Amino acid sequence: METLPKVTKAELLEKIKNGKYMLFFTAGWCPDCTFIKPAMPAIESEYKDFTFLSVDRDENIDLAAELNIFGIPSFIAYQDGEEIGRYVNKDRKTKQQVEQFIDELPVVAG
């Protein structure tokens, strides 16, 4: 999983303007983030149509605020620069919950 450097919202939208992306907002101090991290490689391999990007919430605090990320771990799905779904709250998330979120995303015609 690629780790996103510190970026502005405009820089992020430029990077993700083509294709399907899953942003994974996390932080090193977050125990619930640590809980889901071991499952992320399996989730990534199951959903190969998405490019997964890890976003350090603390390093990208302004971006997180602009995107209304007020709890972590959180996920936002994009297709061609448009948000197609979000799983954003401060609760611990299981592999099954993340997979259900991805499975329920709308299929957007390319």
The question of whether 104 is a catalytic residue gets the answer no
* Beta strands, E only, 1-110: 2-4, 20-26, 50-56, 74-79, 82-87
Catalytic entry in 30, 40, 63, 98: 30
> 29: how many CB neighbours lie within 10 A of its CB?
10
Nearest to 95 by CA among 46, 51, 39: 39
Active-site annotation holder among 12, 16, 22, 33 = 33
Active site residue 69: no
DSSP helix/strand/coil, 1: coil
Q: Residue 54's CB: how many other CB atoms inside 10 A?
A: 16
Residues identified as active-site? 30, 33
